[in-house]
Amino acid sequence: PMKTGIELIAEERAKIFASRGKLEGACNMVARAEMLVEFSSITSKTDEAIELLIEAGALIAAEIDRINKLSTK
């Protein structure tokens, strides 16, 4: 069965150690994914867009975790 978005993001999140400056990269990934979906009907481009969104979501989740750890110190 196909995994949900949150499952894919959680898997990617497990691979990432958050650091400053990565959120800009996440924004670029979202913008690129949006362009791929908007301007291409090719399945491989849709798959690429999904991969970009998974990675961006994982970066955002990692940054949230990093910030939460700072606020509990």
* pLDDT at position 52 over 90: yes
* pLDDT at position 43 over 80: yes
Angle ∠(11,17,23) on CA atoms, nearest 5: 95
Average pLDDT rounded to a whole number, residues 34-46: 89
pLDDT grade, residue 51 (50/70/90)? very high
Residues 66/18, Cβ–Cβ less than 8 Å: yes
The residue among 12, 18, 14 whose CA lies nearest residue 70 is: 18
Mark 2-41 as b/e (b = at least 16 C-beta within 10 Å). Answer: eeeeeebbeebbeeeebeeebeeebeebbeebeebbeeee
* pLDDT at position 59 over 90: no
User: Which one is predicted more confidently, 10 or 34?
Assistant: 34
pTM over cut 0.75 = no
Average pLDDT rounded to a whole number, residues 51-61: 90
